[in-house]
Chains A and B, each alone.
Chain A
Amino acid sequence: MKRIGLKYCGGCNPSYDRVEYVRAIQEAAGDRVAWVTLDEGGFSTLLLVSGCDKQCVEMAEYEDRGCRIIRIKDSCSAPSEILSHLLEGDT
C-alpha cells in the first residue's frame, strides 16, 4: 500500500466540490493507497487539492525535499486519471 499525503487549500470559494472529487479518487484507489495528513508524514507523493486557478497553497518546503506533488484545481480529469498519476512509478 502506497502512502500518499493529502492536502487541501482552505476552500474559500471553490469552483467544484473538492471533498466529493477526492472521495471519488479515494474510491478508485481502494486499498492501494493509505491517505495521510502532512503531520503524519512518511510519504513521497502528495495530492494537493486547490479549489480554483489561484492555487494559493505553497508547497515549496515539500518540493525542496523531493516530494512529488500532483496538483488538482478542478474536476475536469477523471478520478482514475489522477490516481494513475499518483501511482506512477509503482509496480
Chain B
Amino acid sequence: MKKSIMVLGALATLSAAGVAMAGGTSFGQVSFGTTVTSGTLVGARNASDSTQFIQCNTYAYDSGNEYGSCYAKNSTGSSRQCFAANAEQLAVMRSISSSAYIAFTIAADGSTCEQVSISNGSNRAQY
C-alpha cells in the first residue's frame, strides 16, 4: 500500500476536549465502570478539570478498509481505547452528535470494541 494512504472519510470525529469550566455538574462526565466506559461530550467538555475527553473516530481508506475507535480519558488521566472494524459498530460510531452519550465495552483481548452505544438526545445537549 502506498505511503500516501488517503483517509477518505475520517469524518465521524466529535471530540470533547476538556475545557475547564468551574461549576459544572458531574452528570455525563467520563466514567470507567467495571466493564463500561461512558460519558457525554457535553459532560466531558464542561468538566471542572481539563483532563476528561471522550470521542469516537472512523477512518476509511482508498483500499476499501475501514476501522474505527472510541477513546476516553477520565478525570484522573487514565485512558481507555478500543478498535472496531465491524460495519454495524462503525455505523453507530458515525451517528455521534454534539449531544451524544457514548458508552463502550472492551473485549477480553483488551483492545477490541465489544459493544458501542451512542445515544443522542435533548437531555444530553446541556445541563
A binds B: no
Q: Which residues of A contact B (CB under 8 A)?
A: none
Q: Which residues of B contact A (CB under 8 A)?
A: none
